């Protein structure tokens, strides 16, 4: 029987690499993103079912997931809002939380019953440096990523005894790709994590045996010489 993996937030270089890795491992990949047209371009050549949805909107998640069964969920959706306190509006703060935390909650809540009924499944949540520490301009981002990490811990405690492996990945650095270059012009590839290596870690987490589950992985590029 073909296994199904849902990648929520399947865009960007990491999303593409994760979808490609899952497809190569024999999964039926369901790729979810806000913009289906852009997602189709980014995942060109990768066998995947494409769904357009705002993951921070309960009605969209209910429509996208419905009664769908999944063996694995990878929550890769992320919104990065960087500004000083005075420049962070309530709307931006709430939007960051909807994407980075609420969407993860909605996705997990939709898929957990099926996984628990089968007594097996994996959920991998993609965090960031902001999951473990904040900075002077990361009020919206860091607080929402902290919330994601707390959610993942709570899910692991509740769902683990039922056979569902919940893991959190701290991406402590930039991932090489077009979106990184758009946001951080001048970034060098040697300073970044390779998308394929990030995807490899996700696949390893999904495939871990129940006797040796990892909750959290920290991933960061090798420091430059002299750093």
- Domain segments of the chain: what residues? 4-219
User: Which of the 8 DSSP states describes residue 217?
Assistant: E
Q: pLDDT tens digits, residue range 54-112?
A: 999 999 999 999 889 999 999 999 999 999 999 999 999 999 999 999 999 999 999 99
- pTM beyond 0.75: the answer is yes
pLDDT of residue 226: 62
Q: How many CA atoms lie within 13 A of 7 on its CB side?
A: 33
The CA distances from residue 43 to 20, 31, 85, 196, in Å, are 8, 9, 36, 14
Inter-residue contact 62 to 109 (CB < 8 Å): no
- What is the predicted pLDDT for the residue at 210? 96
Q: What class, spelled out in words, does domain 4-219 have in CATH?
A: alpha beta
pLDDT for res 152: 98
Nearest to 5 by CA among 20, 226, 13: 20
User: Tokens at residue 99, please?
Assistant: 């994407």
**Residues 10-30: pLDDT tens digits?**
999 999 999 999 999 999 999
Cα distances (Å, whole numbers) of residue 142 to 101, 122, 129 = 11, 25, 8
Q: Where in the chain does DSSP place strands (E)?
A: 4-8, 28-33, 49-52, 72-75, 121-128, 164-171, 216-219
Reported as a single tens digit per residue, the pLDDT across 183-208 is 889 999 999 999 999 999 999 999 99
Q: What are the C-alpha distances in Å from 82 to residues 26, 98, 145?
A: 38, 16, 13
Helix (H) or strand (E) holding 222: none
Query: Among 97, 104, 52, which Cα is nearest to 77's?
Result: 104
Which of 196, 178, 207, 175 lies closest to 21, judged by CA? 196
The mean pLDDT value of the chain amounts to 95
Residues 173/195, Cβ–Cβ less than 8 Å = no
Dist CA 4 CA 129 (whole Å): 29
Contact 121, 104 (CB under 8 A): no
Work out whether strand 164-171 and strand 121-128 pair parallel, antiparallel, or are unpaired: parallel
CA distance 1 to 114: 16
Three-class DSSP category at 209: coil
């Amino acid at each position: 029987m073909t296994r199904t993996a849902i990648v929520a937030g399947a865009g960007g270089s990491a999303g593409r690499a994760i979808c490609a890795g899952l497809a190569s491992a024999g999964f039926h990949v369901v790729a979810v993103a806000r913009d289906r047209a852009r997602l189709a371009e980014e995942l060109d050549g990768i066998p995947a079912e494409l769904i357009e949805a705002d993951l921070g909107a309960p009605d969209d998640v209910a429509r996208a997931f419905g009664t769908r069964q999944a063996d694995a969920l990878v929550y890769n959706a992320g919104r990065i809002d960087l500004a000083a306190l005075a420049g962070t509006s309530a709307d931006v703060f709430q939007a960051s939380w909807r994407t980075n935390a609420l969407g993860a909650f909605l996705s997990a809540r939709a898929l957990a019953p099926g996984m628990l009924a089968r007594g097996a499944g994996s959920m991998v949540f993609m965090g960031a440096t902001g999951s473990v520490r904040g900075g002077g301009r990361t009020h919206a981002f860091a607080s929402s990523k902290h919330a994601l990490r707390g959610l993942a811990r709570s899910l692991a405690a509740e769902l683990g005894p039922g056979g569902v492996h919940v893991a959190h990945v701290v991406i402590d650095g930039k991932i090489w790709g077009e979106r990184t270059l758009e946001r951080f012009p001048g970034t060098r590839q040697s300073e970044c994590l390779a998308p394929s290596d990030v995807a490899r870690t996700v696949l390893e987490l999904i495939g871990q045996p129940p006797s040796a589950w990892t909750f959290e992985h920290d991933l960061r590029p090798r420091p430059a010489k002299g750093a």
